[in-house]
A and B are shown apart, each in its own frame.
Chain A
Amino acid sequence: MSKRAIDGSDFASMALLGADLLKRNAEKVNALNVFPVPDGDTGTNMNLTMTSGITELKNKQSAHLGKTAEALSKGLLMGARGNSGVILSQLFRGFSKSLAHVEQATAMDIAAALQHGVDLAYKAVVKPVEGTILTVAKEAARHAVQFARRNTEVLELMVEVHARANEALQKTPDLLPVLKQVGVVDSGGQGLVYIYEGFVQALSGAKVEVGQDSATVAAPAEINVVKHSEPTSAQAKLETLDIEFFYDMEFFIKRNVSGNSVAVFDESAYKKALSKDGDSILVITDDDIIKVHVHSRKPGDVFNLSVRYGELTDIHILNMREQHRQLLEEEETSSEANLSAAELLAGQAIDNRPTEHGFERAPYGMIAVALGEGVAELFRSSDVDVVLSGGQTMNPSTEDFVKAIEALSAEHIFIFPNNSNIILAAEQAAQLTERQVTIIPTKTIPQGIAAVLAFKEDETPERNKEWMQSAASMVISGQVTKAVRDTSIDGVEITEGHYIGLKEKSIVTSEADLLAACQALLASMLEDEGDIITILTGEDATEDVTSAICEWINENHSDLEIDLQYGGQPLYPYVFAVE
């Protein structure tokens, strides 16, 4: 079917199908993890992020595209888990910001919105890495912007976006050597490609299969792509005459028409002039073409103003009052009134959420992420106020962090993510609150413990940050887990089911025997000696292996002090720290 513009309902269908496809392929995405370890699951993280977005979208469904996209964006932002989830949320945050005032988006709107999302995501990530979801999104958006100049068909645009995203995905191993080494494409990029594929399917008329998990399945009416002018209760609450600026106008101004001299275009002055009798103004300026969208009550004035800057083409005007009357008539025949739609306009941006005042706060608070009851207890006993569960298999979301921050009555809050895949979500949460938050980017539990212990109550946040980061950097972290697939990485041949030893981020050993893997890992960790070794025993640790490890350390490194602690972490029988 052919579509020149999409509205909120269309976009909702796209998002639902995108989420659905991602969900069904989450395991495939998980399998693309570079390290054959049972953690940092990108597919799971992105799926949970998207699910949060969809939940919000359903609560605030609207025929208004901008509002629908905003709802999705807000849900994504709060539900963001893992690095890919955070980047995904930033992509859609930019996307929705670009379309905030757009009821119905054309191909060019969508292209511009995709590009805006990419811009924002690149800004949000401190050190953008090419060969990841960022590259995939960037290539797709760049192509979309070019394609939309020549083609106004939304479906065709999304087909192109999906194809180009996939193409970029296939090239990720060329950009990121570690992908090539392992022979996979980037997992986050793959997740995004699935979402785009869902967009294409929705625009082609596909629906989410009924019987899927409720989180991704909408009421049939919601996802019916044909329902271009699907009524909603929110619309019904509007009086037709309330629509003040009721001519929905959209056109292009071609700047370089041969022979004609045109006035210099001042975008802000132009927008100001439009706003005299209009709203929902969107002006996208390109080298040789200007795209204009406005709701105005004086269409003639808009044209007269615009012809000064070039030739007008592709002109569309819609009477929104007329459209609204039709909606109301249809609404009367449809029995279902959406009760939750009353909340539609009640949504408040998180950035504006007031913080509590009027009581004394402690100078400092600490939030750490930990996996395993023993590890959590170690943190709590060391002055950490809130321990968030998570780490490997279940990364805490941005919202989890926001809640923990808001719950703490402290002037300044330090967060220890203790996992490289959690740092971005914590940083995003820090930006969403007005509280003073400092992220200490710890990547392992041992780093987190060292950083927490470096805390000094009577020092400034800046100096504490410095000390804590330096303390974290002095620790050598080691982890032992079972490989989830065969692979070869960093010159180590890995067999599924064998125990692999990770020293920081590198796999240094793979052994069928747990003790042998621990010994090989420890030998590598102890190359530069150290004063103390901490052993955190996980759920799968055994007394025999633990005492054999201690014996081995006493025999080979008699100077080393051993601190044996119950960690209780799943999946990782042993976590070691050498300081």
Chain B
Amino acid sequence: MSKVRIVTDSTADIPAEVREELGITMISLKVLFGEETYRDAVDLTPEEFYSRLKASTALPKTSQPSPAEFLEVYEQLLAEDPTAPIISVHLASVLSGTYQSATIAKSMVEVEGADITVVDSCSASYGHGAQVVLAAQMAQSGASVDEIVAAMKQCQNDNTGVYFLVDTLDYLQKGGRIGKASAMIGSLLNIKPILSLEPNGTVTAVDKARGTKKAMSKIVELLKQSYGNDELILVVAKTDDDTTPNELEQRVTAELNIKEVRYTTVGSVIGTYTGPGTSAVFLFKV
């Protein structure tokens, strides 16, 4: 029996070396600055992207991969090994049409005996990425599609371990991805909403605080309530050279039982909606 092949999209924010090591196939979403189109995580480094984002007066546009692009990838993988099942894991369907494109592509595949499972990660960035990495690790050790999908569902964890802070709510608001995060958007006081994702991936403000430091304290409090002394893997995501992610990491590691810390960078598609100066933490039980 052939090993399961794992497909994802660029918004999982999985570092390139990890993708290569685990044999993960990635399809890029696209970022459009005016007439120029860039493939997320391929054509544009995060440094380049965020400096352009800060300089740009008009927000860049993003676009999901077309079903044809998915079809091409699926057919290519099936050509390599027609008996290998494919699991295709994507950005929360409430946030993007990527999952929809993948589903359409699946229905278009005309290879006899093709076994493709499209999974809604119900999450974003490394909340999504962690599920992909887990799936790829299990696939390497020969797990079945059912086992892998069950493990990913467990990893989704209702997004209780996902928190992020943004420098300004402007990007979330302009991009229409704000969900219930609109609280106090007009306040003159330096309000920092503590953002998380609902179980289906919708952006939500679980609390708010005066200033970034206070917000970080609250995130640590919320994590302590959820995890107590559990052994955890912490993934810290940053956008640009802001120091907030480092401080957030220090505070989380000081107060929780962190066994391993991984780092990633929020890619250009997610970054278009959160803006520069975003920091995020993702926690997973060991």
Interface residues of A (CB under 8 A from B): 377-378, 381-383, 449-450, 453, 457, 531-532, 534, 559-561, 563, 565, 579
Report whether A563 and B189 are in contact in the complex, using a CB–CB cutoff of 8 Å: yes
Report whether A579 and B189 are in contact in the complex, using a CB–CB cutoff of 8 Å: no
Report whether A382 and B187 are in contact in the complex, using a CB–CB cutoff of 8 Å: yes
Report whether A561 and B212 are in contact in the complex, using a CB–CB cutoff of 8 Å: yes
Report whether A531 and B188 are in contact in the complex, using a CB–CB cutoff of 8 Å: no
- Residues of chain B lying within 8 A (CB to CB) of residue A383: 184, 187
- Taking the closest CB of chain B, its distance from the CB of A377, in whole angstroms, is 6
Report whether A534 and B184 are in contact in the complex, using a CB–CB cutoff of 8 Å: no
Report whether A565 and B213 are in contact in the complex, using a CB–CB cutoff of 8 Å: no
In the bound complex, CA of A449 to CA of B208 (Å): 13
- Taking the closest CB of chain A, its distance from the CB of B193, in whole angstroms, is 11
- Taking the closest CB of chain B, its distance from the CB of A563, in whole angstroms, is 5
Look across to chain B and name the residue whose beta carbon is closest to the beta carbon of A474: B214
Report whether B189 and A561 are in contact in the complex, using a CB–CB cutoff of 8 Å: no
- Taking the closest CB of chain B, its distance from the CB of A559, in whole angstroms, is 7
Given A453-B191, A565-B189, verify A382-B184 contact (CB < 8 Å): yes
A-B residue pairs in contact (CB < 8 Å), sample of 14 = A381-B186, A381-B188, A382-B188, A382-B191, A453-B208, A453-B209, A531-B216, A532-B190, A532-B211, A534-B210, A563-B189, A563-B210, A565-B188, A579-B210
Interface set, chain B 153-189, CB cutoff 8 A to A: 183-184, 186-189
Look across to chain A and name the residue whose beta carbon is closest to the beta carbon of B218: A531
Look across to chain A and name the residue whose beta carbon is closest to the beta carbon of B188: A381
Look across to chain A and name the residue whose beta carbon is closest to the beta carbon of B183: A457
- Residues of chain A lying within 8 A (CB to CB) of residue B214: 531-532, 561, 579
In the bound complex, CA of A534 to CA of B211 (Å): 10
In the bound complex, CA of A163 to CA of B225 (Å): 62
State whether the Cβ of B217 lies closer than 8 Å to any Cβ in chain A: yes
CB contacts between A and B, total, < 8 Å? 53
In the bound complex, CA of A383 to CA of B189 (Å): 11
- Range, interface on chain B: 10 to 19
- Residues of chain B lying within 8 A (CB to CB) of residue A579: 210, 214
In the bound complex, CA of A450 to CA of B211 (Å): 12
Interface residues of B (CB under 8 A from A): 183-184, 186-191, 208-214, 216-217
Q: Which of A453, A532, A563 contacts B184 (CB 8 A)?
A: A453
Q: Which of B183, B189, B209, B217 contacts A449 (CB 8 A)?
A: B189
Report whether B188 and A532 are in contact in the complex, using a CB–CB cutoff of 8 Å: no
Report whether A561 and B211 are in contact in the complex, using a CB–CB cutoff of 8 Å: yes
5 further contact pairs, Cβ within 8 A, besides A453-B189, A532-B211: A377-B188, A382-B189, A382-B191, A560-B213, A563-B190
Report whether A381 and B213 are in contact in the complex, using a CB–CB cutoff of 8 Å: no
- Taking the closest CB of chain B, its distance from the CB of A475, in whole angstroms, is 9
- Residues of chain A lying within 8 A (CB to CB) of residue B191: 382, 453
Look across to chain B and name the residue whose beta carbon is closest to the beta carbon of A449: B189
- Residues of chain A lying within 8 A (CB to CB) of residue B189: 378, 381-382, 449, 453, 534, 563, 565
Look across to chain A and name the residue whose beta carbon is closest to the beta carbon of B206: A456
- Taking the closest CB of chain A, its distance from the CB of B194, in whole angstroms, is 12
- Taking the closest CB of chain B, its distance from the CB of A233, in whole angstroms, is 56
- Residues of chain B lying within 8 A (CB to CB) of residue A534: 189, 210
In the bound complex, CA of A565 to CA of B184 (Å): 17
In the bound complex, CA of A565 to CA of B183 (Å): 20
Report whether B213 and A532 are in contact in the complex, using a CB–CB cutoff of 8 Å: yes
- Residues of chain B lying within 8 A (CB to CB) of residue A560: 213
In the bound complex, CA of A378 to CA of B217 (Å): 23
- Residues of chain A lying within 8 A (CB to CB) of residue B183: 457
Report whether B188 and A453 are in contact in the complex, using a CB–CB cutoff of 8 Å: no
- Residues of chain A lying within 8 A (CB to CB) of residue B212: 561
